[in-house]
Amino acid sequence: MFAEVAREHPRCVWLDGGGGRDWSGRRSLLGWLEPSDVSLTYSASRGEVTRHVDGRAEVVGSDVFEVLAREVATGGQWFGYLGYACRADLPATPSADMPDAVWMRPSHLRLVDHDSPREDRTAPREHRNFRGVVQPRKFRSPRLTGDSAPAPAPAPAAYREAFEAVQEALHAGDTYETNLTYRITVEQPHDPAAAYLMLRSVNPAPYAGFLQHDVPGAGAWLLSSSPERFALVDDGWIETRPIKGTTPRSADPATDAEHARRLADDTKFRSENLMIVDLLRNDLSMVCEHGTVTVPDLMRVESYSSVHQLVSTVRGRLREGIGTVDALRTLFPAGSMTGAPKLRTMEIIDRVEAPPELGGPRGAYSGAFGWISADGAADLGVVIRTLTSPDRRRWTLGTGGGITVRSDVEEEYAESRWKAERLLAALDAAGGGGVAG
């Protein structure tokens, strides 16, 4: 049904439980819009939020968070993404070719609870635990041999220069950890639905999902296989699950177990994770009741099809009068995708990632993707392990990792490459295409 919806409805979304964890729920949701339904797009470079309905486009504001909060307050559920440059008060270069944000309110929603789909035009509260649907058997992963990580390649000059600039800032005390990233672009037409089905097969994840906004002048496709929670808001509580620390999986059980053990014990990984946990505790303290911010899980190893990851959980009770969208703005962008302290580190990121050899602005990458409800509930993942396109022809993915004074440039670059491998493999399997940048 998904491919048919994507073919017939220019604006649609699938929040896919394909790689769910116990914490991520057991449901999946497919939604699509009629021409009379509303969607929003945001251009950070122009400072314009545009409302799309019945083929018309009208600028309705300059702050995507303010407009989104106003629209959500009118009722219903909204689905979409916030790109890295959505906060105008923080330093981030806007996207050059794709909306910095897209949000949609579908009138059609189909909930999938394992193998029991039903359509519901009223979008009840129970859809909020949609994550975790069982994978259909017809989607098969390409066979991998040996370790999933590719053979190491030397870090290119542009990455080395950015890495050294980050090291200078670290040693100067301007930052304690910086998330250094770059973009890879594939120039090749692809059917987005086919590419997503392949991606969910080779890289299942709890924040998997598909967004299509096929609107002239505001086109956006986002294909997510993210493992990381940006924020869950439910019954007055807010929770985030930062990932910092990653090692590859191995086909050899002994080697694979050693990779997981190293992730749990390595001082560098643990210090990276702890710095982001402290940053998020600070972020949450600005919107939560005093004394309610806790860390229920600290540095838990979670294993996915291609990587082991070090994950923590930070949560707190929202203060009275703090709305969901306001809370999301305070946390945005995810501390795991900036580093600490957030403002100064984002200034460093904006400078060191500027060279065109690193692939241009982050765009949707490092942002957040999911849903927000008028009753205050929300669930969004961090936009990582994600393919984006403005036109179905130019596909971009972001990759990178946290840099500290203990980081090694070759190790960090190798990690960034094997993080990207499954996404590139999905595009290749969906129809090929060469790397352009």
* Residues tagged active-site: 228, 244
The Cβ of residue 22 has, within 10 Å, a number of other Cβ atoms equal to 8
Distance CA 388, CA 393 (A): 10
Pairing of strands 307-317, 177-187: unpaired
Which amino acid type is present at position 61?
G
CA 107 – CA 88 distance, rounded (Å): 31
Joined tokens for residue 369: 């993707």
Residue 177's nearest CA partner among 331, 346, 295, 302 is: 346
C-beta atoms surrounding 137 within 10 Å: 6
CA distance 260 to 67: 43
Q: Is 22 helix (H, G, I), strand (E, B) or coil?
A: helix
CA distance 127 to 264: 35
d(CA 343, CA 346): 5
301, 263 contact by CB (below 8 A): yes
Strand partners, 117: 112
The DSSP string of 95-118 is PSSS-SEEEE--SEEEEEETTEEE
Helix (H) or strand (E) holding 20: none
Cis-peptide into 204, omega within 30 deg:
no
Token couple for 98: 């794709």
Distance, CA of 84 to CA of 334 (rounded, Å): 9
Q: Say how many CA atoms lie within 13 Å of 340 toward its Cβ.
A: 19
Measured between its terminal Cα atoms, the distance across the chain in Å is: 34
